[in-house]
Structure formats: structure tokens, C-alpha cells
Amino acid sequence: MKKIKKIWINHDCFFNLTSSFIKTFYKSSAFVFLALSGCSIQDYKAAPLPLYMQESKPAAVDALPTNALPVEKSAVLAPSETLAEPKEFTLNQAVQAALKSDPRISAALENISQAEADLITAGLIPNPQINTDVQLMPLNRPFTVNRQGGPPQFDFNVAMPIDWFLFGKRAAAVASGEQGVEAASADFANTVRLRISATIAAFYDVLEMQAMLGVAHENQSNLARMEKIILNRVALGGVGTIEADRIKLSIFSGHREIHARELDLASALNRLRALLGIEGNIPIKVKGTLEVDTPVKPIESEAAFKWAEENRPDLNALRRQLDKADADINLQESKAYPQVAPTIGYSRQFQQQAIGFPDANSWMAGVNVSVPIFDRNQGNIAKAKSVKNQTRFNLQAQLVDLRAEIDQAVKTFASSYQFLTNDDPGQLEAAKNVRDKITQAYELGGKTLIEVLDAQRTYLETYRVHISGRSGYWHSLNQLNAAIGKEILR
């Protein structure tokens, strides 16, 4: 029993020593870790990019832009807000509501947070490794001077990797992480550009559909007035009942036109509601006009392309991805260097009982070094170089697509400008005068119903072309600005 008790006492001693050395280690090395903490990566924010349609640059791309355009607080709808009356949006209010409430923009913003988190991980210093053990413990009999064994030994070793500092592995990882934040910020700016452009296009779609619906109602009112005239003439015996039947058919066709335009308007409003991030069946309407006071003159394709090269955030994103690819190659090449971890340790040998000598303390020092003979990170280095080539090709392809996009946008805007300034003026007024004169002549018996309906149809088509021309002007202007990446035309 005494021998067993001594063994347990030795075991307790081992555990007490382990605990005490761990505590002593943390206390004595607190200053060292405090000094190393100064090497930790500081908060890194990407250089702010000018967002599309935003004059003032944000301090940092860590929040949705809120000062891009003037907007009333009541213009932004909460997801749970319900309104008895439809909420009216101006163009500026619609753009701001999309920036604040569109979940796709919020989702794109999370990519920056993830890139910043990767940067934090890249800048962290490796943790030290602690190894403790108890060796040469008696198994089936106690150790004595007469029956020697062991002696039992307690070891406590600490290893700290330093290859991250010797070979610049941490610095290369931080450089790659910073380029990742830059690329994510540029991707976010491109998402904002696309969502704003889509919101503006949807806004003018609603205005166009509202105008088209108004034209359909006006046409129906004119047909109803003609029906009264025809019924009076039939009652007086001036025309046959066939003309009354013919105008009824036109009225039925006008009803179908109104229903079709109402459906088009509802579809346009739903698209706008989705871009505004409005949940639920909240009624909305827009406030604006398709009229153009002073048309903006077209610009040259080459000038627009140069502006786009400077301002398009998707190009900036690819350029920063190319910089990140270079940083990744350096990172993978640095990982090919050996892993180095100096080790320092303490040992306590319990010799008194085992071999009759006094217990002894000792220390050790060493270095663990990997030998990169076979695995020198060849695969990851080759992959990083391939990613760089792929990114460079994508940038070249994007520039080719951009030139085609700019050329098409410039020509579309020039065509809209040409129609607005040369082809459209006076057509609507002329068609209206023709319709009114033929209608008056029909009342006096000088024209046939076919001529009246033909004049009405001509006026209707001219009015639709008039609306489409102005809507096309605003759509093409917005498309060209979005293609450039900056609001050049106003």
C-alpha cells in the first residue's frame, strides 16, 4: 500500500508541475505576446471608388451610400409598412430606395466583409505549440534502487513557428488579402451601377406604360363620342345601322387595348417594386415626365470608350483581380520555403526512488525544419499563374465587349436624339388636326366613317410613336451613362 501511495504521490506531483509550468509560461510570456500583437494586421479598407451617379465619394465602402441623391425619409418603405394610399416615387427617391432596400446590393456588400475577414485571417500570427508528457512510468512494478528503472521524467516543450517572418509568408498573405478587398469593393461598385441603371430603366418603363394607358383611354373616349354622333345620324336616317355596328367593334377593340395596357403597367410596376426591395403587395406609383426640355447632344464613341475605361467598375474589378493574382503567385512561392519552428523545453527527472540519485532539472533547445525536397508547392504555384492568365484574358475580353457595348449605346442615343429633334416635332399636332377636321367633316356628312377611323388610328399610332420616342431618349441616355460608368450626359 505504501508503494502504491508513493506512485500516486508521484502522479500528483507530475500533474501539479504541469499546471504550474503552464501558468508560469503564460505569465512570463505575456510581454512577448503583447509585443507580437503589434504585428497583427490593422483594419484595412479599400480605396473608395466613385459609385455610379454619386458625386461625393464615400469615406469607406463599408455601408450603403446614403447621400448620393436628395431623398425624403418617407420615400423609403420598411418591409412591413402598409399604406392605404399608393406611395409615390420621384426618380431620385426610387434610386435611393433601391440603394437602401434592395437585398441584392446588401448581399453584394457582404462580399467586402468576407474579403476583409480573409485579410484578418491572412494577418494572424501562427499559434505556439505546447507539448507536455510524462515518460518512463512504472508499469507492473515500482522502481527502486535495487530494482532500477526509468527514471520517470516530465517534459514541457514550447515551439513557435517563425517561417512566416523569415520567408515573408505572412506579408505575402496580407498583400493578397488586401488585393482581395480591393477587388470585392470594385465588384460591389459594379453591382450598384447595374442596380441603379435597372431602377432608372424600370422607372421610365412605368412612365411609358402610364402614358400608353392614357392614350388608350383617350382613344376610347374619342370612339365613345363618335358612337354618339353615329347613333344620332342613324336616328335621323343619315347613315345605316352598319356604321353603328362598326363603331361598336372599334369600341370593343379599344377595351381590349386598355386591358392590355393596364397589364403592361402592372408588370412595369412589379419590376420597379422588386428593384426597390419592397415586400408585400404595397401599391406604388411614380411621379415624373417623359418630356425633354433640352435634348443633350450625342458624343463620339471614342470619347465614350475612354471615359468607360476610366470609370467602369467591372474593369477596375478585373484589374484588381489581376493584381491579386500577382500577389497570390508570390504567396504560393513563399509557401514553398521550409517550415521552421524553434523549440525550447524543460525536463524534470524523478531519480531518487528509481535509481537513488537526486531529482534533476534540465532544459533543451532545438529547431524543427521541414525539408521541401518533393513537395515544393509546385501545383499551387502553377494554379496561381494560370489564374493570372485567365484574369488577363477575361480583362481583354471585357474590353472587346465594352467597345461593342459603347458603340451600340452611342448609336442608339444618337438615333433617339435624331428622332426627337428632327423627325418627331409637329407630327402629333398634325395628326390631331387631321383627326379633328375629318371628324367635323363626318358630322356634316362630308367624310365616311372609314376615313374617320383611319384618321383616329393614325393619330393613335403617332401618339404612341411620340411617347416611345421620348421614352427611348431617356432609356438610351441612361444606357449610355451606365455603359460609361459615370453620369456624363444629363
Query: What is the rounded average pLDDT of the residues 205-210?
Result: 96
Candidate from 29-38, 253-262, 349-358 with smallest mean pLDDT: 29-38
What tens digit of pLDDT does each residue of 272-281 get? 999 988 877 7
Average pLDDT over residues 402-409: 96
**Dist CA 289 CA 207 (whole Å):** 7
Full set of structural domains in the chain with CATH: 39-126+161-337+372-484 (1.20.1600.10)
Residue 413 to residue 177: CA distance in whole angstroms: 41
Averaged pLDDT for residues 62-73: 36
Our CA angle for 157, 161, 166, nearest 5°, is 140
DSSP-derived letter for residue 425 is: T
pLDDT attached to residue 59: 32
Buried b (16+ CB within 10 A) or exposed e, 465-476: bbbbbbbbbbbb
Do residues 96 and 276 lie in contact, with contact meaning Cβ atoms separated by under 8 Å?
no
Q: Which helix (H) or strand (E) holds 341?
A: strand 340-349
Looking up cell 470608350, which residue turns up? 305
The pLDDT value recorded for residue 424 is 65
Percent of the chain with pLDDT over 90: 55
H/E stretch holding 284 reads strand 284-286
DSSP structure class, residue 350: -
Res 185: pLDDT: 94
Distance CA(87)–CA(218), nearest Å, equals 25
- Whether the pLDDT of residue 57 is over 50: the answer is no
Range of lowest pLDDT (4-8, 179-183, 377-381) = 4-8
Whether 109 and 64 have beta carbons less than 8 Å apart is answered as yes
- Closest residue by Cα to residue 177 from 388, 366, 73, 323: 323
Note whether 119 and 174 are within 8 A (CB): yes
- Res 384: pLDDT: 96
pLDDT at 13 over 70: no
For the cut 80, the answer to whether the pLDDT of residue 116 exceeds it is: yes
52: pLDDT strictly greater than 60 = yes
pLDDT-derived band at 36 (thresholds 50, 70, 90) equals very low
The pLDDT value recorded for residue 79 is 43
pTM here?
A: 0.77
User: Tens digits of per-residue pLDDT, 314-331?
Assistant: 999 999 999 999 999 999
Q: Do the Cβ atoms of 348 and 135 come closer than 8 Å?
A: no
The pLDDT value given to residue 53: 67
- Asked if residues 207 and 289 have their Cβ atoms less than 8 Å apart, the reply is yes
Between 355 and 17, the more confident residue is 355
Nearest to 324 by CA among 378, 390, 377, 398: 390
- CB of 359 within 8 A of CB of 428? no
What is the predicted pLDDT for the residue at 184? 95
Using the predicted structure, report yes or no on whether residue 378 has a pLDDT greater than 80. yes
pLDDT at 8 over 60: no
The pLDDT, as a whole number, for residue 146 is 87
Provide mean pLDDT across the span 120-145. 93
Per-chain mean pLDDT for the chain:
83
